[in-house]
């Protein structure tokens, strides 16, 4: 959901699970097979109407996390001032198509946001600053240009069904982000990996971050300094280059906003570039996800060297953090964000949240640690905890 528009799925009729280096390609192939067999009556014809699957894909090829596409039983959608309901059923060859009217479940009562206390998880603050310092040394040695290093915080969710309230809070507090909940992965991402909408392709690339000011004047000053910061502009340019280079072969035309603009969010400023183009080769949204993931906004440059450094310096499995999260419909249209400002909630109630920063040669370890705290704020507050106190240098 974003700005009150989007799609929500209820129930589950089908689940496609994949793993390993071919996880996106396998999901895309299986989705093509399923949609090829489906009998679809879509009288709305908007992206996301008709048959859809919601997906969350692991960040790394070697991750133990399962990548999923989930086909819900009921989809509620709202876009461009229109609202619709889709019902999806699995039938065998002999059964007739469903004709009974869709029965919507009664709205559940509102709940308070759950109370989760977070503690440092993998790569606690002291180790995070060490890892950043080591990454800067390697950059200065010429081993790579940029790497994105993340850390983890962990808590426990005690209440049942507490996720709905956390999700509603994310949507209320961060209306300009893409708010998602797929298979326990919940968050409010400001960054799209790729969107396909009737032959158009778009993406919002982010990299480069500054804190918000205490008052209007200092806030404007922070944004202006971010827009002029060589460090952030260099970090941003690498993210844009990686997205453009991987999307270009699939587009007939691809334009980027000429200069990065400053994107204001309640917790921070980002440098942002919007990409827009036309699809050139009939790729589905999932095909494009496969082509662009992982961009330099979450991996680094050069990609493979940065990925190896992430494995070594972070030393934990990112799971679905920084992976693609979104939906694809039967026409191949879809909307995929990068799973940032998010947490994975396991069935045992463990909540693992992640935040990372792009490290370039002039990164300062302590500043990057402070930036991860800013990035944790949406999810920490959605789970009822006070915002993280600023780290002490």
Is 30 known to be catalytic?
no
Please report whether residue 326 would count as binding ligand ISC according to CB under 6 A: no
Identify the residue among 35, 192, 209, 242 touching ligand ISC (CB under 6 A). 209
Please report whether residue 343 would count as binding ligand ISC according to CB under 6 A: no
Please report whether residue 299 would count as binding ligand ISC according to CB under 6 A: no
**Beta-strand runs (E) in the chain:** 6-10, 14-18, 52-56, 67-71, 74-79, 82-87, 119-120, 146-156, 178-182, 185-189, 192-197, 200-211, 251-256, 261-264, 268-279, 300-301, 324-329, 334-338, 342-345, 350-359
Three-class secondary structure of residue 314 per DSSP: helix
Q: Which is nearer to ligand ISC, 70 or 182 (CB)?
A: 182
Identify the residue among 48, 260, 323, 356 touching ligand ISC (CB under 6 A). 356
Q: Do you find a cis peptide bond into 287, omega within 30 degrees of 0?
A: no
Stretch near ligand ISC under the rule CB under 6 A, chosen from 7-15, 108-116, 125-133, 204-212: 204-212
Identify the residue among 47, 48, 208, 300 touching ligand ISC (CB under 6 A). 208
Do residues 154 and 303 lie in contact, with contact meaning Cβ atoms separated by under 8 Å? no
Neighbours of 173 (CB within 10 A): 17
Identify the residue among 60, 207, 263, 288 touching ligand ISC (CB under 6 A). 207
Residues 336, 328: Cα–Cα separation, whole Å: 8
Least distance between ligand ISC and beta carbon 184 (Å): 18
Stretch near ligand ISC under the rule CB under 6 A, chosen from 1-9, 111-119, 174-182, 349-357: 349-357
Identify the residue among 148, 285, 286, 310 touching ligand ISC (CB under 6 A). 148
Residues 162, 90: Cα–Cα separation, whole Å: 29
Do residues 267 and 375 lie in contact, with contact meaning Cβ atoms separated by under 8 Å? yes
In DSSP terms, which residues pair with 263 in a beta bridge? 270
For residue 46 the two structure tokens come to: 């908007």
Please report whether residue 247 would count as binding ligand ISC according to CB under 6 A: no
Q: How many residues bind ligand ISC (CB under 6 A)?
A: 17
Nearest by Cα to 3 from 146, 125, 174: 174
Least distance between ligand ISC and beta carbon 188 (Å): 11
Identify the residue among 52, 71, 355, 374 touching ligand ISC (CB under 6 A). 355
Lay out the site mask for ligand ISC across 256-285 (x = CB under 6 A, - = otherwise). Answer: --------------x---------------
Least distance between ligand ISC and beta carbon 200 (Å): 23
Is 145 known to be catalytic?
no
Q: Which residues contact 110 (CB under 8 A, 6 or more apart)?
A: 165, 168
Please report whether residue 191 would count as binding ligand ISC according to CB under 6 A: yes
Choosing from 145, 152, 169, 191, the catalytic residue is 191
Residues, the chain: 393
Least distance between ligand ISC and beta carbon 205 (Å): 9
Least distance between ligand ISC and beta carbon 336 (Å): 15
- DSSP string covering 161-188, please? TTHHHHHHHHHHH-TTSEEEEETTEEEE
Please report whether residue 375 would count as binding ligand ISC according to CB under 6 A: yes
Choosing from 146, 152, 368, 375, the catalytic residue is 146
Least distance between ligand ISC and beta carbon 303 (Å): 14
- In eight-state DSSP terms, residue 390 is P
Given the rule CB under 6 A, which residues bind ligand ISC? 148, 150, 191, 206-209, 270, 297-298, 340-341, 355-358, 375
Question: What are the catalytic residues?
Answer: 146, 191
């Amino acid at each position: 959901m974003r700005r009150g528009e989007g799609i929500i799925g209820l129930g589950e009729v089908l689940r496609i699970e994949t793993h390993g280096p071919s996880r996106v390609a396998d999901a895309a192939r299986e989705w093509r097979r399923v949609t090829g067999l489906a009998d679809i009556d879509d009288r709305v014809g908007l992206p996301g109407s008709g048959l859809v699957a919601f997906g969350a894909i692991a960040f790394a090829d070697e991750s133990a996390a399962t990548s999923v596409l989930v086909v819900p039983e009921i989809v509620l959608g709202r876009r461009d001032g229109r609202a619709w309901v889709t019902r999806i059923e699995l039938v065998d060859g002999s059964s007739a198509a469903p004709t009974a009217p869709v029965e919507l479940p009664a709205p559940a009562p509102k709940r308070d946001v759950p109370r989760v206390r977070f503690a440092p998880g993998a790569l606690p603050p002291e180790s995070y600053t060490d890892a950043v310092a080591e990454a800067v040394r390697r950059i200065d040695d010429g081993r790579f240009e940029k790497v994105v290093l993340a850390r983890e915080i962990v808590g426990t969710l005690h209440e049942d069904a507490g996720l709905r309230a956390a999700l509603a809070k994310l949507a209320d507090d961060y209306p300009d982000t893409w708010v998602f909940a797929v298979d326990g992965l919940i968050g409010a991402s400001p960054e799209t990996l790729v969107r396909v909408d009737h032959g158009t392709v778009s993406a919002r690339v982010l990299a480069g971050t500054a804190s918000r000011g205490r008052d209007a004047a200092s806030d404007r000053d922070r944004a202006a300094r971010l827009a002029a910061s060589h460090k952030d502009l260099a970090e941003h340019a690498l993210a844009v280059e990686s997205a453009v280079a991987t999307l270009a072969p699939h587009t007939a035309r691809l334009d980027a906003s000429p200069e990065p603009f400053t994107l204001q969010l309640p917790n921070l400023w980002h440098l942002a570039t919007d990409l827009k183009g036309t699809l050139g080769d009939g790729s589905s949204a999932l095909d494009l996800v496969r082509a662009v993931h992982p961009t330099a906004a979450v991996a680094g440059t050069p990609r493979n060297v940065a990925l190896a450094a992430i494995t070594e310096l972070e030393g934990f499995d990112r799971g679905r953090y920084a992976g693609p999260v979104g939906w694809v419909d039967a026409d191949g249209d879809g909307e995929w964000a990068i799973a940032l400002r998010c947490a994975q909630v396991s069935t045992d109630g463990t909540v693992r949240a992640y935040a990372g920063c792009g490290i370039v040669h002039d990164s300062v370890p302590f500043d990057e640690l402070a930036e991860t705290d800013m990035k944790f704020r949406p999810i920490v507050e959605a789970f009822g905890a006070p915002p993280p106190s600023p780290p002490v240098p």
